Amino acid sequence: MAWRYGWSIEETYGRFMTAATVMLAAGCVSFGTAALIERHSESTRLTEPPSLRLLRQETSEAGIAAPHGVRFWFSDDYRPGDPRLVDVVAAGDVMMGSEDLGLNPAITPHVDAAALIGPDLAALFRHADVAFANLEGPLYDGPEPTAKDCADCFAFHSPPYYAAVLQSLGINVVSLANNHSGDYGEAGRASTMAALGTHGIAYGGLDRDGARAATLVLRDGRKAAVVAFAPNDGTLNLNDLPGAENLIAALKKTHDLVIVSFHGGGEGWDHVHVVMGDEQFDGEDRGDVVAFAHGAIDAGADLVIGQGPHVPRALELYRGHLIAYSLGNFWTYDGVMNYAVSGLGPVLEAWLAPDGRIAGFALHSTRQAGLGVPHSDPDDEAARYVLYLTKTDFPATSAALDGARGRATLGS
Protein backbone atom coordinates (compact mmCIF):
# COMPACT_ATOMS: atom_id res chain seq x y z
CA MET A 1 0.00 0.00 0.00
CA ALA A 2 1.46 3.38 -0.98
CA TRP A 3 2.24 5.90 1.75
CA ARG A 4 3.30 8.86 -0.35
CA TYR A 5 0.33 11.06 0.53
CA GLY A 6 -0.14 10.29 4.21
CA TRP A 7 0.26 7.64 6.85
CA SER A 8 -0.75 4.22 5.64
CA ILE A 9 -1.30 1.17 7.83
CA GLU A 10 2.26 0.11 6.98
CA GLU A 11 3.79 3.41 8.01
CA THR A 12 1.80 3.63 11.24
CA TYR A 13 2.94 0.11 12.09
CA GLY A 14 6.46 1.00 10.99
CA ARG A 15 6.63 3.99 13.31
CA PHE A 16 5.54 1.76 16.19
CA MET A 17 8.29 -0.72 15.28
CA THR A 18 10.88 2.06 15.06
CA ALA A 19 9.92 3.34 18.52
CA ALA A 20 10.09 -0.19 19.92
CA THR A 21 13.50 -0.67 18.31
CA VAL A 22 14.91 2.48 19.84
CA MET A 23 13.52 1.65 23.29
CA LEU A 24 15.14 -1.76 22.97
CA ALA A 25 18.48 -0.17 22.07
CA ALA A 26 18.17 2.04 25.14
CA GLY A 27 17.37 -0.96 27.32
CA CYS A 28 13.76 0.08 27.92
CA VAL A 29 12.00 -3.04 26.60
CA SER A 30 12.57 -6.76 26.83
CA PHE A 31 14.27 -9.07 24.37
CA GLY A 32 10.84 -10.49 23.58
CA THR A 33 10.35 -7.26 21.66
CA ALA A 34 13.74 -7.85 20.04
CA ALA A 35 12.45 -11.08 18.53
CA LEU A 36 9.41 -9.24 17.15
CA ILE A 37 11.59 -6.55 15.63
CA GLU A 38 13.88 -9.09 13.98
CA ARG A 39 11.01 -11.08 12.52
CA HIS A 40 9.74 -7.90 10.90
CA SER A 41 12.61 -6.35 11.22
CA GLU A 42 35.95 1.58 -11.37
CA SER A 43 39.37 4.11 -12.03
CA THR A 44 38.23 7.67 -12.68
CA ARG A 45 40.44 10.50 -11.51
CA LEU A 46 38.74 13.61 -10.23
CA THR A 47 40.09 16.82 -8.78
CA GLU A 48 37.33 18.61 -6.89
CA PRO A 49 35.55 20.84 -9.44
CA PRO A 50 35.18 24.58 -8.81
CA SER A 51 31.42 24.17 -8.28
CA LEU A 52 31.95 21.85 -5.31
CA ARG A 53 34.67 24.06 -3.84
CA LEU A 54 32.33 27.04 -4.13
CA LEU A 55 29.54 25.06 -2.46
CA ARG A 56 31.78 24.25 0.50
CA GLN A 57 32.92 27.87 0.75
CA GLU A 58 29.37 29.23 0.69
CA THR A 59 28.25 26.75 3.35
CA SER A 60 31.16 27.74 5.57
CA GLU A 61 30.62 31.47 5.08
CA ALA A 62 26.93 31.07 5.91
CA GLY A 63 27.92 29.65 9.28
CA ILE A 64 25.88 26.48 8.78
CA ALA A 65 27.10 23.80 11.15
CA ALA A 66 26.77 20.10 10.55
CA PRO A 67 25.02 18.02 13.24
CA HIS A 68 27.42 16.88 15.96
CA GLY A 69 26.37 13.21 16.00
CA VAL A 70 27.35 10.47 18.44
CA ARG A 71 31.12 10.75 18.54
CA PHE A 72 34.04 8.43 19.33
CA TRP A 73 37.75 9.19 19.47
CA PHE A 74 40.73 6.82 19.51
CA SER A 75 43.90 8.69 18.59
CA ASP A 76 46.52 9.99 21.01
CA ASP A 77 48.37 11.76 18.19
CA TYR A 78 45.54 13.73 16.59
CA ARG A 79 42.76 15.82 18.06
CA PRO A 80 39.41 16.66 16.46
CA GLY A 81 39.84 19.36 13.81
CA ASP A 82 43.47 18.53 13.01
CA PRO A 83 43.96 19.55 9.35
CA ARG A 84 46.04 16.45 8.69
CA LEU A 85 42.98 14.23 9.16
CA VAL A 86 40.88 13.25 6.14
CA ASP A 87 37.16 13.73 6.76
CA VAL A 88 35.09 10.98 5.09
CA VAL A 89 31.28 11.22 5.16
CA ALA A 90 29.40 8.16 3.91
CA ALA A 91 25.69 7.53 3.43
CA GLY A 92 23.87 4.37 2.46
CA ASP A 93 21.49 3.74 -0.42
CA VAL A 94 20.28 6.63 -2.56
CA MET A 95 17.39 6.21 -5.01
CA MET A 96 15.51 9.51 -4.88
CA GLY A 97 12.69 8.34 -7.13
CA SER A 98 12.14 6.11 -10.17
CA GLU A 99 10.30 7.00 -13.36
CA ASP A 100 8.12 3.89 -13.26
CA LEU A 101 7.39 3.88 -9.51
CA GLY A 102 7.00 7.59 -8.86
CA LEU A 103 9.10 10.74 -8.67
CA ASN A 104 9.17 13.26 -5.87
CA PRO A 105 7.57 16.42 -7.31
CA ALA A 106 9.82 18.51 -5.07
CA ILE A 107 12.95 17.33 -6.90
CA THR A 108 13.12 19.56 -9.93
CA PRO A 109 16.11 20.53 -12.11
CA HIS A 110 18.39 22.97 -10.29
CA VAL A 111 16.82 22.34 -6.86
CA ASP A 112 19.21 22.71 -3.93
CA ALA A 113 19.37 19.51 -1.87
CA ALA A 114 19.66 21.61 1.28
CA ALA A 115 16.17 22.98 0.64
CA LEU A 116 14.83 19.42 0.71
CA ILE A 117 16.74 17.79 3.55
CA GLY A 118 17.81 20.78 5.63
CA PRO A 119 20.96 22.91 5.62
CA ASP A 120 22.48 21.19 8.65
CA LEU A 121 22.43 17.75 7.06
CA ALA A 122 23.66 19.11 3.74
CA ALA A 123 26.52 20.86 5.54
CA LEU A 124 27.75 17.48 6.79
CA PHE A 125 28.48 16.36 3.23
CA ARG A 126 29.65 19.75 1.99
CA HIS A 127 32.32 20.01 4.69
CA ALA A 128 33.78 16.55 3.94
CA ASP A 129 36.91 15.74 1.97
CA VAL A 130 35.27 12.56 0.67
CA ALA A 131 31.45 12.58 0.49
CA PHE A 132 30.17 9.15 -0.54
CA ALA A 133 26.87 7.37 -1.22
CA ASN A 134 25.67 4.20 -2.93
CA LEU A 135 23.72 5.14 -6.06
CA GLU A 136 21.01 2.48 -6.19
CA GLY A 137 19.91 2.50 -9.83
CA PRO A 138 20.79 4.22 -13.11
CA LEU A 139 20.29 7.85 -14.06
CA TYR A 140 18.48 7.20 -17.31
CA ASP A 141 15.39 8.47 -19.13
CA GLY A 142 15.93 6.93 -22.56
CA PRO A 143 13.69 4.65 -24.61
CA GLU A 144 15.32 1.29 -23.87
CA PRO A 145 13.28 -1.18 -21.78
CA THR A 146 14.62 -2.65 -18.58
CA ALA A 147 17.28 -5.30 -18.95
CA LYS A 148 15.71 -7.35 -16.18
CA ASP A 149 13.71 -10.47 -17.00
CA CYS A 150 11.59 -11.23 -13.96
CA ALA A 151 7.98 -10.83 -12.92
CA ASP A 152 8.38 -9.49 -9.39
CA CYS A 153 11.67 -7.60 -9.31
CA PHE A 154 12.08 -3.82 -9.19
CA ALA A 155 13.78 -1.92 -12.01
CA PHE A 156 14.83 1.62 -11.11
CA HIS A 157 15.69 4.54 -13.34
CA SER A 158 15.93 8.13 -12.16
CA PRO A 159 16.20 11.27 -14.30
CA PRO A 160 19.80 12.17 -15.20
CA TYR A 161 19.35 15.62 -13.65
CA TYR A 162 19.32 13.90 -10.25
CA ALA A 163 23.12 14.00 -10.55
CA ALA A 164 22.85 17.77 -10.07
CA VAL A 165 20.93 17.17 -6.84
CA LEU A 166 23.73 14.92 -5.58
CA GLN A 167 26.26 17.58 -6.56
CA SER A 168 24.29 20.25 -4.68
CA LEU A 169 24.38 18.00 -1.62
CA GLY A 170 28.17 17.88 -1.84
CA ILE A 171 28.53 14.24 -2.91
CA ASN A 172 31.79 13.79 -4.83
CA VAL A 173 31.94 10.01 -5.29
CA VAL A 174 29.39 7.18 -5.56
CA SER A 175 29.37 3.41 -5.82
CA LEU A 176 27.80 1.80 -8.89
CA ALA A 177 28.39 -1.72 -7.53
CA ASN A 178 24.90 -2.91 -6.64
CA ASN A 179 22.04 -5.02 -7.95
CA HIS A 180 20.23 -2.07 -9.58
CA SER A 181 22.97 -0.20 -11.44
CA GLY A 182 22.38 -2.46 -14.46
CA ASP A 183 18.58 -2.27 -14.44
CA TYR A 184 18.58 -0.61 -17.88
CA GLY A 185 21.58 -2.35 -19.30
CA GLU A 186 24.44 -0.66 -21.09
CA ALA A 187 22.34 2.36 -22.05
CA GLY A 188 21.50 2.99 -18.41
CA ARG A 189 25.08 2.62 -17.23
CA ALA A 190 26.41 4.89 -19.98
CA SER A 191 23.83 7.55 -19.15
CA THR A 192 24.66 7.30 -15.45
CA MET A 193 28.38 7.72 -15.97
CA ALA A 194 27.82 10.65 -18.32
CA ALA A 195 25.49 12.43 -15.88
CA LEU A 196 27.83 11.92 -12.95
CA GLY A 197 30.84 13.08 -14.96
CA THR A 198 29.03 16.23 -16.08
CA HIS A 199 28.48 17.15 -12.44
CA GLY A 200 31.95 16.34 -11.18
CA ILE A 201 30.99 13.17 -9.29
CA ALA A 202 33.43 10.28 -9.46
CA TYR A 203 32.31 6.65 -9.43
CA GLY A 204 33.61 3.12 -9.08
CA GLY A 205 32.48 -0.47 -8.87
CA LEU A 206 31.92 -1.49 -12.49
CA ASP A 207 34.13 -4.20 -13.97
CA ARG A 208 35.36 -2.17 -16.92
CA ASP A 209 38.24 0.13 -17.70
CA GLY A 210 37.72 3.63 -16.35
CA ALA A 211 35.02 2.65 -13.86
CA ARG A 212 36.57 0.20 -11.39
CA ALA A 213 37.86 2.76 -8.90
CA ALA A 214 37.71 6.51 -8.45
CA THR A 215 40.70 8.65 -7.56
CA LEU A 216 39.99 11.80 -5.59
CA VAL A 217 42.72 14.41 -5.25
CA LEU A 218 42.27 15.86 -1.78
CA ARG A 219 42.74 19.48 -0.81
CA ASP A 220 46.29 18.87 0.44
CA GLY A 221 47.27 16.98 -2.72
CA ARG A 222 47.01 13.49 -1.30
CA LYS A 223 45.13 10.89 -3.32
CA ALA A 224 42.27 8.71 -2.12
CA ALA A 225 40.94 5.72 -4.05
CA VAL A 226 37.31 4.63 -3.71
CA VAL A 227 36.52 1.14 -5.01
CA ALA A 228 33.30 -0.88 -4.70
CA PHE A 229 32.22 -4.52 -5.00
CA ALA A 230 28.94 -6.43 -5.37
CA PRO A 231 27.77 -9.95 -6.35
CA ASN A 232 26.07 -8.71 -9.52
CA ASP A 233 26.75 -8.87 -13.26
CA GLY A 234 28.92 -6.07 -14.54
CA THR A 235 30.29 -5.13 -11.11
CA LEU A 236 33.55 -5.92 -9.36
CA ASN A 237 32.89 -9.34 -7.82
CA LEU A 238 32.33 -9.35 -4.07
CA ASN A 239 32.71 -13.12 -4.03
CA ASP A 240 36.12 -13.15 -5.73
CA LEU A 241 38.10 -12.47 -2.57
CA PRO A 242 41.59 -12.97 -4.09
CA GLY A 243 40.72 -10.69 -7.01
CA ALA A 244 39.33 -8.03 -4.69
CA GLU A 245 42.35 -8.17 -2.42
CA ASN A 246 44.76 -7.91 -5.37
CA LEU A 247 42.97 -4.83 -6.70
CA ILE A 248 42.91 -3.17 -3.27
CA ALA A 249 46.62 -3.90 -2.77
CA ALA A 250 47.43 -2.39 -6.16
CA LEU A 251 45.42 0.74 -5.36
CA LYS A 252 47.22 1.11 -2.03
CA LYS A 253 50.56 1.26 -3.85
CA THR A 254 49.45 4.32 -5.85
CA HIS A 255 47.18 6.10 -3.35
CA ASP A 256 47.58 7.51 0.13
CA LEU A 257 44.18 6.18 1.24
CA VAL A 258 41.91 3.40 -0.04
CA ILE A 259 38.21 3.38 0.83
CA VAL A 260 36.30 0.21 0.01
CA SER A 261 32.55 -0.14 -0.43
CA PHE A 262 30.62 -3.38 -0.72
CA HIS A 263 27.00 -4.22 -1.50
CA GLY A 264 26.26 -7.53 0.20
CA GLY A 265 24.26 -9.48 2.73
CA GLY A 266 20.59 -10.36 2.99
CA GLU A 267 17.89 -7.70 2.74
CA GLY A 268 15.24 -6.50 5.15
CA TRP A 269 14.23 -6.63 8.79
CA ASP A 270 15.19 -10.31 9.12
CA HIS A 271 18.79 -9.44 8.19
CA VAL A 272 19.80 -6.71 10.63
CA HIS A 273 22.49 -8.92 12.19
CA VAL A 274 25.85 -9.58 10.56
CA VAL A 275 26.23 -13.24 9.61
CA MET A 276 29.52 -15.02 10.16
CA GLY A 277 29.84 -16.85 6.88
CA ASP A 278 28.21 -16.78 3.50
CA GLU A 279 24.79 -15.15 3.11
CA GLN A 280 22.21 -16.38 0.61
CA PHE A 281 19.20 -14.24 -0.25
CA ASP A 282 16.53 -14.60 -2.93
CA GLY A 283 18.53 -17.28 -4.71
CA GLU A 284 21.70 -15.18 -4.85
CA ASP A 285 25.05 -15.53 -3.13
CA ARG A 286 25.33 -12.23 -1.26
CA GLY A 287 28.82 -12.92 0.00
CA ASP A 288 30.70 -13.51 3.23
CA VAL A 289 30.82 -9.87 4.24
CA VAL A 290 33.01 -10.38 7.32
CA ALA A 291 35.65 -12.30 5.37
CA PHE A 292 35.48 -9.72 2.60
CA ALA A 293 35.85 -6.74 4.96
CA HIS A 294 38.71 -8.31 6.90
CA GLY A 295 40.46 -9.32 3.68
CA ALA A 296 40.06 -5.81 2.29
CA ILE A 297 41.76 -4.28 5.33
CA ASP A 298 44.48 -6.92 5.32
CA ALA A 299 45.13 -5.99 1.67
CA GLY A 300 45.43 -2.25 2.43
CA ALA A 301 41.95 -0.76 2.78
CA ASP A 302 41.71 2.04 5.33
CA LEU A 303 37.91 2.17 5.69
CA VAL A 304 35.20 -0.31 4.65
CA ILE A 305 31.61 0.83 4.05
CA GLY A 306 28.73 -1.61 3.49
CA GLN A 307 25.30 -1.34 1.90
CA GLY A 308 22.76 -3.79 0.57
CA PRO A 309 20.57 -4.99 3.46
CA HIS A 310 18.42 -1.80 3.36
CA VAL A 311 18.65 -1.71 7.16
CA PRO A 312 21.46 -0.54 9.45
CA ARG A 313 23.95 -3.09 10.67
CA ALA A 314 26.73 -3.18 13.24
CA LEU A 315 30.18 -1.62 13.24
CA GLU A 316 33.45 -3.42 13.79
CA LEU A 317 36.94 -2.21 14.67
CA TYR A 318 39.51 -4.43 12.97
CA ARG A 319 43.28 -3.89 13.15
CA GLY A 320 42.87 -0.16 13.78
CA HIS A 321 40.36 0.36 10.96
CA LEU A 322 36.60 0.76 10.92
CA ILE A 323 34.03 -1.41 9.13
CA ALA A 324 30.41 -0.28 8.79
CA TYR A 325 28.52 -3.39 7.69
CA SER A 326 25.47 -1.48 6.42
CA LEU A 327 24.47 2.18 6.43
CA GLY A 328 20.91 1.31 5.45
CA ASN A 329 18.69 3.60 3.38
CA PHE A 330 19.61 7.27 3.22
CA TRP A 331 17.29 8.74 0.55
CA THR A 332 14.98 6.22 -1.10
CA TYR A 333 11.62 7.96 -1.63
CA ASP A 334 9.41 5.26 -3.22
CA GLY A 335 10.22 1.71 -4.30
CA VAL A 336 12.60 1.10 -1.40
CA MET A 337 10.91 0.77 2.00
CA ASN A 338 11.59 3.77 4.22
CA TYR A 339 9.77 3.19 7.49
CA ALA A 340 10.63 1.44 10.77
CA VAL A 341 14.31 0.42 10.85
CA SER A 342 14.38 0.68 7.05
CA GLY A 343 13.86 4.42 7.46
CA LEU A 344 16.78 4.89 9.84
CA GLY A 345 19.81 6.15 7.94
CA PRO A 346 23.04 6.37 9.93
CA VAL A 347 25.52 8.66 8.18
CA LEU A 348 29.10 7.81 9.06
CA GLU A 349 31.70 10.54 9.47
CA ALA A 350 35.18 9.05 9.84
CA TRP A 351 38.41 10.95 10.41
CA LEU A 352 41.37 9.05 8.96
CA ALA A 353 44.93 9.67 10.10
CA PRO A 354 47.67 10.05 7.46
CA ASP A 355 48.54 6.36 7.89
CA GLY A 356 44.91 5.43 7.21
CA ARG A 357 44.03 4.31 10.72
CA ILE A 358 40.80 5.51 12.29
CA ALA A 359 41.42 8.56 14.51
CA GLY A 360 37.75 8.98 15.38
CA PHE A 361 34.27 8.84 13.95
CA ALA A 362 30.73 10.05 14.48
CA LEU A 363 27.35 8.54 13.68
CA HIS A 364 24.86 11.13 12.48
CA SER A 365 21.27 9.95 12.67
CA THR A 366 18.86 10.63 9.84
CA ARG A 367 15.33 9.46 9.27
CA GLN A 368 13.06 9.41 6.27
CA ALA A 369 9.64 10.74 7.20
CA GLY A 370 6.88 9.39 4.97
CA LEU A 371 7.92 10.98 1.70
CA GLY A 372 11.35 9.38 1.61
CA VAL A 373 13.36 12.57 2.20
CA PRO A 374 15.98 12.31 4.96
CA HIS A 375 16.28 14.79 7.81
CA SER A 376 18.54 14.99 10.84
CA ASP A 377 17.09 13.14 13.82
CA PRO A 378 17.83 14.86 17.15
CA ASP A 379 16.80 11.66 18.99
CA ASP A 380 19.73 9.80 17.40
CA GLU A 381 17.62 6.72 16.72
CA ALA A 382 19.83 5.40 13.90
CA ALA A 383 23.02 5.74 15.95
CA ARG A 384 21.44 4.07 18.97
CA TYR A 385 20.24 1.18 16.85
CA VAL A 386 23.68 0.67 15.26
CA LEU A 387 25.27 0.66 18.71
CA TYR A 388 22.74 -1.89 19.94
CA LEU A 389 23.54 -4.15 16.98
CA THR A 390 27.27 -3.66 17.55
CA LYS A 391 26.92 -4.75 21.17
CA THR A 392 25.11 -7.87 20.02
CA ASP A 393 27.26 -8.78 17.01
CA PHE A 394 30.73 -7.47 17.95
CA PRO A 395 30.93 -7.15 21.75
CA ALA A 396 34.68 -6.47 21.75
CA THR A 397 34.13 -3.50 19.43
CA SER A 398 31.25 -2.31 21.61
CA ALA A 399 33.51 -2.34 24.66
CA ALA A 400 36.16 -0.33 22.80
CA LEU A 401 33.53 2.20 21.75
CA ASP A 402 32.44 2.72 25.35
CA GLY A 403 35.88 4.04 26.21
CA ALA A 404 36.27 5.97 22.97
CA ARG A 405 32.98 7.76 23.51
CA GLY A 406 34.27 9.16 26.80
CA ARG A 407 37.47 10.35 25.11
CA ALA A 408 35.42 12.06 22.40
CA THR A 409 33.53 14.04 25.02
CA LEU A 410 36.78 15.19 26.63
CA GLY A 411 38.50 15.90 23.33
CA SER A 412 35.68 17.70 21.52
> Which CATH number goes with the domain that contains 59?
3.60.21.10
Residue 216 pairs in a beta bridge with 46, 224
pLDDT computed for residue 2 by the predictor: 32
Q: Cα–Cα distance between 290 and 265 in angstroms, integer?
A: 10
H-only helix segments in 43-82: 50-61
Q: Cα–Cα distance between 29 and 143 in angstroms, integer?
A: 52
Relative to beta strand 329-331, strand 213-217 is: unpaired
* Side-chain half-sphere exposure of 238, counting CA atoms within 13 A: 32
Is there a domain that residue 32 lies in?
Answer: no
Q: How many CB atoms lie within 10 A of CB 198?
A: 13
Q: Cα–Cα distance between 316 and 293 in angstroms, integer?
A: 10
Q: Residue 248 is inside which H or E element, if any?
A: helix 241-254
Is there a domain that residue 9 lies in?
Answer: no
Q: How many CB atoms lie within 10 A of CB 61?
A: 8
- Single pTM value for the model: 0.85
DSSP character at residue 342: G
The pLDDT profile of the chain, 412 residues, written as one tens digit per residue, is 232 223 333 334 444 444 454 444 444 433 333 332 233 223 444 544 555 555 455 545 555 555 677 899 999 999 999 999 999 999 999 999 888 888 899 999 999 999 999 999 999 999 999 999 999 989 999 888 777 676 666 777 889 999 999 999 999 999 999 887 777 889 999 999 999 999 999 999 999 999 999 999 998 999 999 999 999 889 999 999 999 999 999 999 999 999 999 999 888 888 999 999 888 887 787 889 999 999 999 999 999 999 999 999 999 999 999 999 999 999 998 767 777 888 899 999 999 999 999 999 999 999 986 667 899 999 999 999 999 999 999 999 999 999 887 666 544 4
Q: Which residues of 396-409 are buried (b: 16+ CB within 10 A; e: fewer)?
A: ebbebbeebeebbe
Is there a domain that residue 270 lies in?
Answer: yes
pLDDT computed for residue 338 by the predictor: 77
Please choose, from the candidates 272, 328, 332, 369, the residue with its C-alpha nearest in 3D space to the C-alpha of residue 14. 369
Q: Cα–Cα distance between 77 and 179 in angstroms, integer?
A: 41
Is there a domain that residue 23 lies in?
Answer: no
Please choose, from the candidates 385, 383, 328, the residue with its C-alpha nearest in 3D space to the C-alpha of residue 72. 383
pLDDT computed for residue 60 by the predictor: 58
Task: Map residue 411 onto helix, strand or coil.
Answer: helix
Count helices and strands (H / E) in the chain.
Answer: 11, 20
Is there a domain that residue 13 lies in?
Answer: no
Q: Domain range spanning residue 57?
A: 43-411
Domain tally, the chain: 1
Residue 224 pairs in a beta bridge with 216, 257
